[in-house]
């Protein structure tokens, strides 16, 4: 049976911890590289074994563990009850010629907070507008208990995946702290920015007994 790389990728994506997968084949169609981005629920060795099992059981292909590259990132859902933390309600972008506006809605404990930011229509600008709108919405949820400022954002490569990374300054009574967060870009860039900002802040400011 001739198997396309896309079929193997789709099978790997069905593993619960896997968030992104890309397979590289040689001219004869043999897998030579497999790049995977996954959550932190299992060890890399266990994930590699799961990938090998799926490949063998589904396609009869015995994958060499040495061609499997795994990058893992922590995820907000794995570290605390989601109700104690903001969740994404809406991310929308409005484009009018060279101008753009990004709106972000966050929900926490039933309360909805929105933030907006306007600027020029470019890839870099849209990412910054999404971060700014997210921070505005978060500031309303924090009710003056801390202030937030964007330091840096950018896209990094992790195997075959693109990962949005943000760095923030957080001011609290105890001092100023720099925090970073990341999110795999699986759809809209603006949504990845919002998820990366929440990843940076949720474990610090939005956990049981904090910022409440």
Q: What is the pLDDT of residues 77-102, one digit of tens each?
A: 434 444 467 889 999 999 998 999 99
What pTM was computed for the model?
Answer: 0.59
Please state, in angstroms and as integers, the Cα–Cα distance from residue 154 to each residue in 39, 101, 195, 199, following that order: 21, 19, 13, 15
The arithmetic mean of pLDDT across residues 63-86, rounded, is 68
The arithmetic mean of pLDDT across residues 22-27, rounded, is 88
Q: What is the CA radius of gyration of the chain?
A: 20
Per-residue 3-state assignment (H helix, E strand, C coil) for the chain: CCCCHHHHHHHHHCCCCEEEEEEEECCCCCEEEEEEEECCCCCHHHHHHHHHHHHHHHHCCCCCHHHEEEEECCCHHHCCCHHHCCEEEEEEEEEECCEEEEEEEEEECCEEEEEEEEEECCHHHHHHHHHHHHHHHHHHHHCCCCEEEEEEEEEEEECCEEEEEEEEEEEECCEEEEEEEEEECCCCHHHHHHHHHHHHHHHHHCCCCCCC
Which two tokens mark 199? 């990843």
For the CA atoms of 198, 199, 203, 209, the dihedral, rounded to the nearest 10 degrees, stands at 20
The arithmetic mean of pLDDT across residues 145-158, rounded, is 85
Superfamily of domain 5-72: ANL, C-terminal domain (3.30.300.30)
pLDDT of res. 17: 83
Is 70 exceeded by the pLDDT of residue 146?
A: yes
CATH 3.30.300.30 maps onto the chain at: 5-72
Report the chain's mean pLDDT, rounded to a whole number: 83
d(CA 95, CA 99): 6
103-137 pLDDT tens trace: 999 988 888 899 999 999 998 999 999 999 999 99
The arithmetic mean of pLDDT across residues 151-172, rounded, is 85
pLDDT of res. 211: 40
Class of the domain covering 76-205: alpha beta
pLDDT of res. 210: 41
The arithmetic mean of pLDDT across residues 62-87, rounded, is 70
- Identify whether the C-beta of residue 166 lies closer than 8 Å to the C-beta of residue 198: no
d(CA 78, CA 172): 25
Nearest to 211 by CA among 109, 132, 130: 109
Is 60 exceeded by the pLDDT of residue 208?
A: no
CATH 3.30.160.270 maps onto the chain at: 76-205
Is 90 exceeded by the pLDDT of residue 176?
A: no
């Amino acid at each position: 049976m001739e198997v396309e790389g896309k079929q193997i990728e789709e099978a790997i994506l069905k593993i619960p911890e896997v968030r992104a997968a890309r397979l590289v084949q040689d001219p004869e169609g043999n897998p030579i590289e497999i790049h995977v981005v996954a959550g932190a629920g299992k060890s890399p060795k266990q994930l590699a074994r799961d990938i090998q099992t799926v490949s063998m059981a589904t396609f009869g292909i015995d994958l060499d563990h040495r061609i499997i590259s795994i990058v893992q990132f922590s995820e907000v859902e794995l570290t605390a009850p989601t109700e104690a933390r903001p969740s994404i309600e809406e991310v929308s972008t409005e484009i009018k010629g060279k101008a753009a506006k990004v709106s972000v809605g966050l929900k926490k404990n039933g309360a909805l907070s929105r933030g907006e930011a306007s600027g020029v229509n470019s890839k870099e600008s849209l990412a910054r507008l999404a971060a700014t709108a997210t921070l505005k919405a978060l500031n309303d949820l924090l009710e003056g208990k801390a202030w937030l400022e964007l330091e840096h954002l950018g896209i990094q490569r992790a195997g075959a995946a693109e990962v949005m990374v943000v760095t923030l300054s957080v001011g609290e009574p105890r001092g100023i702290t720099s925090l970073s967060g990341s999110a795999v870009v699986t759809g809209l860039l603006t949504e990845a920015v919002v998820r990366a900002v929440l990843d940076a802040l949720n474990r610090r400011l939005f956990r049981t007994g904090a910022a409440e």
